[in-house]
Structure 1
Amino acid sequence: MPTFKQLEALIAVVDHGTFDGAANRLGQVQSAISRQIQELEHWLGFALFDRSGRGARLTALAAPVVAQARDVLLQRDIVNSCLISPQVLSRRLRIGITELSALTWLPRLIKAVSSHYPKVRIEPEVDLSVRLHGLLMAGQVDVIVVPDAFSSNGLIKVALDEVRNNWFCAPGVLDHQQPLSLEDLSHCTLLAQGRLSGSGLLVDSWLATHQASPSAHIPCSSLAALIGLTVSGLGVTYLPDITAAPYLLNGQLVKLDVTPPLPTTPYVALARADSYSPFHRHVMELLGEHCDLQQAYGRPA
């Protein structure tokens, strides 16, 4: 009979695309992964991977085996979640978050998860939303928290919080004491996170519906760097109030009064339905309790 280790090796190779990637994921050497796959193939009586080229391509017979392996591992996780005390449950929690989450609620979540599950190892992955979504679909993270800009087919989605964005620039770039329109902004360079950002996707779509296009666009993948570019006077940007607040206080940024105002950005937690255990459901509940994108960690409420 196949072992859990063999099934874990199979899923890790499928999700990571290579035997080396699976070995890194499981903390094993590549030869051990290869041996486990070979043992599984011997028991099945057919090859699971086409080894004629680079990478690990599944054979035509492998798809139902992969589906069954995912189901077996999910059932194991369900049993473990239901029968094993949270105090002794030992596993990893791979959570994908954006830069804004890392700056606000993440420490509170880590404290809450560690309190409920002291033996769970939390592994945050901080990246842009599109990349995080790709990691989730590839099975390389368990849960992601991103703007609600993606299809939820095959995913569990839980609504969390909303972020209010406003327009900002350095003093003197535009007259912040006068009401402005999107047409006024179009004469400036737009500094934004771009199409790898969930917020960027949503705002780009919103601007398109208002037929607003900037004269120039400088994409930037880092929220902190984006603020630096804006403070330097290179253009206008949209930011969550929580990240702009310190720069407003010291006079490096000013808030612009623009009509129509930017829409709020809803944030959601996403997890794959085919690996969603009671443990993941509880993590989602903890996210609902602690995901506060309006308050920086350590700042009084």
Structure 2
Amino acid sequence: MNIRTLETFVWIARLGSFRATAKRLYASQPTISARICSLEDELRTELFDRTGRKAVLTAKGRQLLVYAEKILQLHSELLETVARPDAIHGTIRLGVSETIAYTWLPRLIEKISEAYPAINLELDVDISVNLADKLTSREIDIAFLIGEVNQPDFVSRPFCRYSLVWVTSPMIALPAEPISLANLSRIPIITYPRRSEPYANIRSLVTPTNHPTQIHSSSSLSTIIRMTVDGLGISALPREILTRELATGVLREFQVEAALPDLVFSTAYSASPGAGVVRAVAELALATVAEGDGTHGWQQADQLC
């Protein structure tokens, strides 16, 4: 019985699958099965009921899970307290909204590399709705996303926000500013995906005008920016990701009579035992935002909420 075997057992209990655990721990499925068989032989009891499609804990398995999680928690605390940072190794999967990838993510990766040089990172850039699903299904360890993750056993903390500015290509002739909602609804709008919070906010802004507004959505910020530069519509985006376009004049800001809500981002991660390093990385993210450097416009969410 060792830490690796107990970790394998706990992940099967969480995911309900030997195959998913093998993927999560970067091991082959026969290796995962061998670890559990060895553990069951040592304890002389079955830990999982394998008759169905999912691996379900037996009564003895549920008893072991309580102790295994305590042991993993103590092991994590031991490493954090006693071990040198370069002795802490493994892989952390970061789920990142594209807005974050455009702004302070490189600085966070730099800080993680300095603090934990033996930690490997896997980046998953996706829309916030998908990141929340991936986090709760344990496909990623930490999510930086719009909104919160309100699920048991997960920590969710607001940490930064971005204001949205309306931008257009100089090729598009606009009415006098500030543009009324009635006039805004007559211009094609390019924005975030249909299931996103910004899309819903823009839709609620123009719907009362009773005009069939064209709203083109994309899960790629680079595509939204490109379409806006090409004059296919207008957009409302964080100024921080448009620095080059605004500086070169391929896009310009304009004013609308009603403001859109800020994009408020949270960091969310599992509060399960053994997640000490994951929690430490989340704290590094908060510290990265708190420091700032005068060149970015993000602000800590708790300063404005």
Q: TM-score, normalised by structure 1?
A: 0.82
Secondary structure in 2 matching 1:80: helix
> Which residue matches 1:288?
286
Contact 1:149–1:202 at 8 Å: present in 2 too?
no
Contact 2:18–2:55 at 8 Å: present in 1 too?
no
Q: 1:249-300, CA deviations, whole angstroms, 9 ceiling, x for partnerless residues?
A: 333223221121112112221111124644334322221121359739xxxx
Relative distance call for 1:205 and 1:178 in structure 2 (3 A) is closer
Contact 2:150–2:156 at 8 Å: present in 1 too?
no
Contact 1:170–1:231 at 8 Å: present in 2 too?
yes
RMSD: 3.0
**Is 1:255 the equivalent of 2:253?**
yes
Amino acid at match of 1:134: D
**Is 1:48 the equivalent of 2:48?**
yes
> Which residue matches 1:104?
103
**Is 1:128 the equivalent of 2:135?**
no
Equivalent residues in 2 for 1:1-301 (5 A)?
2-14=1-13, 18-42=17-41, 43=43, 45-53=45-53, 56-58=54-56, 61=59, 65-66=64-65, 69-151=68-150, 153-175=152-174, 177-196=176-195, 200-202=196-198, 204-205=200-201, 207-208=203-204, 211-212=207-208, 215-275=213-273, 277-291=275-289, 295=296
Secondary structure in 1 matching 2:272: helix
In structure 2, runs of 5+ residues without a counterpart are 298-305
Q: CA deviation at 1:212?
A: 4.5
Q: CA deviation at 1:82?
A: 1.6
Following the alignment from structure 1 to structure 2, what is the Cα–Cα distance between the partners of residues 278 and 52?
33
Relative distance call for 1:180 and 1:59 in structure 2 (3 A) is same
Question: Aligned residues, how many?
Answer: 290
Q: 1:160-218, CA deviations, whole angstroms, 9 ceiling, x for partnerless residues?
A: 2211111222234351652112332222333222245xxx3255157537854762332
In structure 1, runs of 5+ residues without a counterpart are 297-301
Q: TM-score, normalised by structure 2?
A: 0.81
Q: CA deviation at 1:14?
A: 4.8
Following the alignment from structure 2 to structure 1, what is the Cα–Cα distance between the partners of residues 36 and 46?
11
Following the alignment from structure 2 to structure 1, what is the Cα–Cα distance between the partners of residues 136 and 158?
19
Following the alignment from structure 1 to structure 2, what is the Cα–Cα distance between the partners of residues 10 and 129?
30
Relative distance call for 1:189 and 1:64 in structure 2 (3 A) is farther
> Which residue matches 1:299?
none
Contact 1:97–1:132 at 8 Å: present in 2 too?
yes
